[in-house]
Structure 1
Amino acid sequence: MRIARLGVEDWSAFRDFRIDGLRESPESFASTLSDVLLRTDQSWRDQLGRLRDPQGIALIACDADGAWVGTMRAAVTDGQAWVHGVYVVPAARGGGVAAALMSELLAWAVDHASVAMLHVVESNVRARRFYESFGFTPVGVDGREIEMRRVLS
């Protein structure tokens, strides 16, 4: 597996991967498939453009054949690295993809923020346990999501 940073030039492949993820796991994302399908090409470019170092990071995991198998992003706001857009294709789940992405993201975040934050759907116990294994702890509830925090050092 290879972890790479996404740039603006990756917008089209990123869009397609995100749409596939929403079709497969719509409950895992804050946005809906119908909303995402309405987005312009420029909005996809702008999104990846905003996630350039030091404002943020967009990562993709590729398998040995170069196929995209996972993604994770973070945006820094007020000293907090907000983790979002976490998705691993079903066939790669449990194989270390999310762990590799999170390790890379947190290594980056240490130099850009004092804490890492995220939201996870309350009913997604598997994801909550994964985040807890990386030191995230619950700090509140926001609707159907739990807000989790990890101090970076």
Structure 2
Amino acid sequence: MPRVRRLRADDWQLLRTVRLEMLADTPMAYVESLDAARRQTDTQWQERAAAMSGDSNVTLVADGGEDGSKLSGLMRVVVQHPQDPEKPLQAMLISVYVAPEHRGLGLADELLNQACKAAGEDLGAEHLELGVHQDNSRALAFYRRHGFETTGASRPYPQDTSKLELVMERPLP
């Protein structure tokens, strides 16, 4: 099983490679296009990796190669600051990806378990929210297995507004 760890700012080249792989593999799952990602400069990737390893978010990656030259998975948790100060702090799970050769082997479970732990312990969130395409029954079942429930809320799916993104949430310990 690949080792799960936090993304570091100096992982920008690994981040670029896995992000391009993510966008090529599942273009409808991410708001960014493959062409837009390919046009980014090295400096932009460096800035992106630094931002993704900042204080208000946690980006977990799974080292995929024996020599650490590839990432086989990624999940990012970002803090959502509530409009109402009386509401509990919430985090959102975004940029979920596991490379095809690692799917079905438990890596997604490990990444999600660590993402939930980081959201609660490191970011201080009381709930973790995510959005999933209404037709993605595999993802819905995966998240339900991990204690997420649909909230009844939905929003137009960014890449195809004729479809819905269902909001799921789970409390954090």
TM over 0.5: yes
1:39 alignment partner, SS class:
coil
- Deviation, 1:107, is 1.0
1:47: Cα distance to partner? 2.9
Instruction: Please give the residue correspondences for 1:1-153 in structure 2 after superposition, counting only pairs within 5 Å.
Output: 1-52=2-53, 54-63=55-64, 65=66, 66=68, 67-78=70-81, 79-111=89-121, 112=123, 113-139=125-151, 140-143=153-156, 144-153=164-173
Q: Structure 2 stretches of 5 or more lacking a match?
A: 82-88, 157-163
Once the two structures are TM-superposed, the CA of residue 118 in structure 1 deviates from its matched residue by 0.9
Q: 1:52-80: per-residue Cα shift (whole Å, max 9, x none)?
A: 35411111112462442111111112122
CA distance in 2, matches of 1:50, 1:150: 26
Identity between Structure 1 and Structure 2 (%): 30
Count of residue pairs brought into register by the alignment: 153
Shift of 1:31: 1.8
User: Structure 1 stretch 78-87 or stretch 52-61: which is displaced more?
Assistant: 52-61
- Between structure 1 and structure 2, the one with the greater Rg is 2
CA distance in 1, matches of 2:133, 2:35: 20
TM-score, length-scaled by structure 1: 0.90
Distance 2:134 2:5 in 1: 29
Q: Which moved more, 1:98-107 or 1:37-46?
A: 37-46
Q: Name the structure 1 match of 2:86.
A: none
* CA RMSD, 1 decimal: 1.7
1:12-34 residue CA offsets vs partner (Å, 9 max, x unmatched): 21011110111111122122212
- Alpha-carbon distance in 2 for matches of 1:120, 1:31: 16
Runs of at least 4 residues off by over 6 Å = none
SS across alignment from 1:130: helix
